[in-house]
Amino acid sequence: MLIIAIIIYYSHISPHGTEVVVQLFNRIAPGMLLRLLARTHLYFFSSFLASTSPSGTNAAEEKENFMPRSAFIFTVFLLAVSFALQAEARPKSRYDDTTKTCRILEYGPLEWDSRPWGEGGKVFREVCKGCHTRNNDKGAPFLYAESKNPAAWNRVFAQKYPKCAQNGSWDKITLDQQLKLNDYLYRFGLNSEDFNDSC
């Protein structure tokens, strides 16, 4: 990461340096988000450098203002890249023991449905959190996505051992909703960034 940061920083000095950054990210991180960030970086820094190039009379003043602006934009870019890398580290697939299928979470409808704002996250908030909140009066343990790691969440849905699964509370959600809920919890469970794809 430090080497990438140095390359990005020195790319502002050379007029062709930003093209090197785009090529570097195309090789290191093939994800579309990182490519978009690299191209955005190329566009904004090209226009930024053009607007701050010395024009004669105020050359010293413009050169003095360039470094703080450059450092700020560089920091924002690095933060965006680090968040994008973290997002790319999530599992891309999940083997479901109930249906004996491989569920692809990387793209397609399941990519959306397995996110907090998708169907899986919605079921968790609207159904599961109806009981599994802090200090609830139902005796249900407090749960959130990182209460268990992805493998443990898979066991919950495959073995259906929790009390709420056995007493019929799960009957109000369809099998499809259960699968999407499992996808969401698997994808955002404890240490899910370290988990390999299960199929």
Residues contacting 102, CB < 8 A, separation 6+: 93, 94, 95, 96, 199
Please name which of 117, 120, 92, 95 lies closest in space to residue 107, comparing C-alpha atoms: 92
pLDDT at 178 over 90: yes
56 & 125 share domain: no
Q: Which of 28, 53, 88 is the last residue of a domain?
A: 88
Overall average pLDDT of the 170-194 stretch: 93
Q: Tell me the C-alpha distance between 184 and 187, whole Å.
A: 5
Query: What is the domain range of residue 42?
Result: 2-88
Q: Which of 88, 108, 123 is the last residue of a domain?
A: 88
Q: Which of 88, 105, 124 is the last residue of a domain?
A: 88
pLDDT at 192 over 80: yes
pLDDT at 4 over 70: no
55 & 142 share domain: no
102 & 132 share domain: yes
DSSP state letters, 42-107: HHHHHHHHHHTS--STTHHHHHHHHHHHHHHHHHHHHHHHHHHHHHHTS-SEEEETTTTEEEE-SS
Q: What's the pTM?
A: 0.58
In a domain, 137, yes or no: yes
84 & 98 share domain: no
The pLDDT tens digits for 29-63 are 445 445 555 555 555 555 555 555 555 555 556 55
The pLDDT tens digits for 61-97 are 655 555 566 667 777 777 766 655 555 568 899 999 9
**Which amino acid is it at 44?**
F
